[in-house]
């Protein structure tokens, strides 16, 4: 399918699938959306939560993240920058069936808009070989896995899932109970899944597999988003 680079409302670029009229990020601002949905309501929310229960810093803080749709690496890059700021160790797994090509990556403007200090880290994330763990910075370890989301088999491994599949309008099969069961299994207890979608059918599919689901204010251009937590009944 034809992919084209476009500029979103906050000046950051993203990729558009022309045949589907679907983008990798919100046209109202790619960086703004990623920061709001995945960083603020995902990583920073979870970090605050564990910081409260680890007040005396008796345990080193380490967080494992699974990303559903590695794509341009924007969510991973924002997470890497935050890991450095917070001095927080992150193990990041990005699953992606159709990797973005190097010539497309070159056209993105995330380094100049976010941080030139991490330009080489952004390059390293993209040039890193697949199916292997790589230490990208002292706080950020990355493994990219090329496979379908449906084939994820991890159990009790991740603290956070960034659920960033294309919308249910174009890929309804990725927003079903079957897929959310895979996500539920992959999370550790008290782990959270965040997504930009707020559709009623998505919320109900999450609840059906056992998630506790909250509706939160959405990023610019969207009223709401969802955060699902795994709290198994004892």
Residues that bind ligand SAM (CB under 6 A): 24, 69, 71-72, 74-75, 95-98, 148-149, 164-166, 171
CB 148, min distance to ligand SAM, A: 4
* Closest separation in Å from C-beta 96 to ligand SAM: 5
Separation of CA 135 from chain center: 19
Q: How far apart are CA 204 and CA 178, in angstroms?
A: 12
CB of 72 to ligand SAM, least distance (A): 3
**Minimum CB separation from ligand SAM for residue 114, in Å?**
12
Helices 74-86 and 119-127: angle between axes, nearest 10 degrees: 130
- Distance of alpha carbon 112 from alpha carbon 213, whole angstroms: 36
Nearer to ligand SAM, 51 or 220 (CB): 220
C-beta nearest to ligand SAM: residue: 71
Q: In which residue are the tokens 């880290």 written?
A: 121
Q: Between residues 72 and 141, which has the closer beta carbon with respect to ligand SAM?
A: 72
Q: Which is nearer to ligand SAM, 189 or 221 (CB)?
A: 221
CB of 88 to ligand SAM, least distance (A): 20
Nearest residue (CB) to ligand SAM, 71 versus 218: 71
Q: How far is the CB of 147 from ligand SAM (least distance, A)?
A: 7
Smaller CB separation from ligand SAM, 5 or 86: 5
Residue with Cβ nearer ligand SAM (32 or 75): 75
At its nearest, how many Å lie between ligand SAM and the CB of residue 161? 12
Return the number of the residue (3 or 134) whose C-beta is nearest ligand SAM: 3
């Amino acid at each position: 399918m034809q992919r084209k680079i476009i500029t979103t409302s906050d000046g950051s670029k993203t990729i558009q699938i022309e045949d589907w009229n679907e983008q990798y990020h919100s046209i109202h601002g790619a960086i703004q959306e990623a920061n709001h949905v995945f960083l603020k309501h995902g990583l920073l929310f979870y970090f605050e939560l564990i910081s409260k229960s680890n007040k005396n810093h008796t345990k080193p803080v380490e967080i494992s993240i699974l990303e559903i749709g590695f794509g341009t690496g924007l969510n991973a890059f924002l997470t890497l920058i935050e890991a450095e700021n917070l001095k927080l160790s992150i193990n990041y797994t990005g699953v992606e069936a159709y990797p973005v090509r190097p010539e497309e990556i070159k056209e993105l403007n995330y380094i100049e808009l976010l941080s030139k200090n991490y330009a080489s880290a952004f390059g390293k994330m993209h040039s890193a070989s697949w199916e292997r763990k790589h230490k990208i910075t002292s706080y950020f370890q990355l493994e990219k896995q090329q496979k379908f989301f449906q084939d994820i088999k991890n159990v009790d491994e991740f603290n956070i899932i960034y659920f960033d599949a294309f919308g249910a309008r174009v890929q309804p099969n990725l927003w079903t109970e079957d897929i959310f069961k895979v996500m539920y299994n992959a999370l550790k207890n008290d782990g959270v899944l965040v997504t930009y979608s707020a559709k009623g059918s998505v919320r109900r599919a999450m609840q059906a597999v056992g998630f506790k689901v909250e509706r939160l204010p959405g990023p610019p251009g969207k009223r709401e988003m969802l955060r699902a937590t795994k709290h198994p009944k004892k």
